[in-house]
Amino acid sequence: MSNVLEECIKLYKDLICCYNNISEKELIEGTNDDLDNLLNLNEDISISTACDINKCKEILGKLKLLIIHLSSVNPLICIGQKDIRELLIVRGILEKGVIISIRNKDIKSFNIYIAQLFIYYFDYKDILPKSKKQNAIVGLYLLYLLASNSIGDFHMTLEILPLEDHNDIYIFSFLN
């Protein structure tokens, strides 16, 4: 494992601890200090936690500087040669960025994180397992598009969603 990836994992753990207002010890106990368990940690994004948003944003800033050095983020590398763990960690970081930007009422950051996240949701859908937060985040984005009267983008987003997601609780209401 590269030093950059190890540093990303450490900062990602710090971000999860900061956001959920838990100690690193509690996180390790909850995940058995296993990377797969950390990546599969299912947090309900609808539950608001008492966290230090500014500290979370600071950690996200450090993470963004680190992830650009991961080889799997390089668009010139063939999809088949990308490290799945790196992609999963970056997707988790971006998902947390979406949630934190919503909590911070930062629409510009929300749009940037969504644009980056859609690559992991739709371009890498054949190599990455589907995120447990994907439909909730896409549903929030659809709601944002409707509220901002971005009807064209709303319909384009609906078109890229797989048919099996159309019955999801977070997506279904937009189709009726």
Angle, helices 134-147 vs 107-118, to 10°: value is 130
For residue 16, pLDDT beyond 90:
no
- Helices (runs of H) and strands (runs of E) counted in the chain: 9, 0
Given a contact cutoff of 8 angstroms between Cβ atoms, the answer to whether 112 and 148 are in contact is no
Decide if pLDDT at 48 tops 80.
Answer: no
Report pLDDT digits (tens) over 79-123: 888 999 999 999 999 999 999 999 999 999 999 999 999 999 999
Q: Looking up tokens 């966290």, which residue turns up?
A: 51
Number of other CB atoms surrounding residue 52 within 10 Å: 12
pTM of the model: 0.87
Give the whole-number percent of the chain exceeding pLDDT 70: 93
Say what the pLDDT of residue 14 is.
87
| Higher per-residue pLDDT: 48 or 18 | 18
Alpha-carbon distance 138 to 34, whole Å?
Answer: 28
Cα–Cα distance for residue pair 105/10, rounded to 1 Å: 26
